[in-house]
A and B are shown apart, each in its own frame.
Chain A
Amino acid sequence: DAGVIQSPRHEVTEMGQEVTLRCKPISGHDYLFWYRQTMMRGLELLIYFNNNVPIDDSGMPEDRFSAKMPNASFSTLKIQPSEPRDSAVYFCASSLRGSTDTQYFGPGTRLTVL
């Protein structure tokens, strides 16, 4: 298996623009997690899905952030409009049985909002 795939690896955009981050989980994994990593706040869980259904989005910072999982092999995290404080590395992870199971992380998307 290729592991968790994220695209793009790097994104540079200007404030106010829409940003879409993409994730393909490992085939057969029922859980998908979106994290954000910054120097100030460390690694934060934004939202996670079970069988394509959002279970907990309490970590989503505000309404500018939205996430979808239209099928078992694809998820998006969208920021609209983007702000400089959204600059961070965004990770997607998947697991077979939820957070008590091993999570497999993608390589991350480094987002810079100017």
Chain B
Amino acid sequence: AQSVTQLGSHVSVSEGALVLLRCNYSSSVPPYLFWYVQYPNQGLQLLLKYTSAATLVKGINGFEAEFKKSETSFHLTKPSAHMSDAAEYFCAVSDDGGTSYGKLTFGQGTILTVHP
């Protein structure tokens, strides 16, 4: 079974500081990995995804994530936080990376707070 662990339910940074949100996954097959962002009172939207191509994935709004198989990690980073980055971030793994069937299993989410 697939699973995702997000380390830290809350992360607080200052504006302009590095953002690092941690995600570790468990998968019995090569995974498809995703980061989604949820702004208050909205649905989730995709930030970026890893689909077995380049291990460093660039997404929207200056975010990127690196797939490290040896560490089973897919941490999300952004060099300089902006106030508008304040949101909840979800890491997710696909149940079956080889076909179109399968489920997305989400982590518990990390709330990012950005201080002026």
A: residues with CB less than 8 A from B are 4, 31, 33, 42-43, 45, 48, 50, 55-56, 91, 93, 97-108
- Residue interface mask B38-58, A partner, CB < 8 A = 1: 000111111001010000000
Separation in Å of the B101 CB from the closest CB of chain A? 6
Q: Is there an interface contact between A4 and B109, defined as CB atoms closer than 8 Å? A: no
Q: A99-B94, A100-B94 are in contact. Are A108 and B101 (CB under 8 A)?
A: no
Separation in Å of the A45 CB from the closest CB of chain B? 5
Separation in Å of the A89 CB from the closest CB of chain B? 9
Separation in Å of the A110 CB from the closest CB of chain B? 8
The closest CB in chain A to the CB of B48 belongs to A102
Q: Is there an interface contact between B104 and A45, defined as CB atoms closer than 8 Å? A: yes
B: residues with CB less than 8 A from A are 32, 41-46, 49, 51, 90, 94-97, 99-109
Starting from the known contacts A98-B102, A106-B43, 20 additional A-B residue pairs (CB-CB under 8 Å) come to: A42-B106, A42-B107, A43-B44, A43-B106, A48-B103, A56-B103, A98-B100, A99-B32, A99-B94, A99-B96, A100-B97, A100-B99, A100-B100, A103-B44, A104-B45, A105-B43, A105-B45, A107-B41, A107-B42, A108-B43
Q: Is there an interface contact between A99 and B90, defined as CB atoms closer than 8 Å? A: no
Partner of B100, one of A45, A101, A108: A101
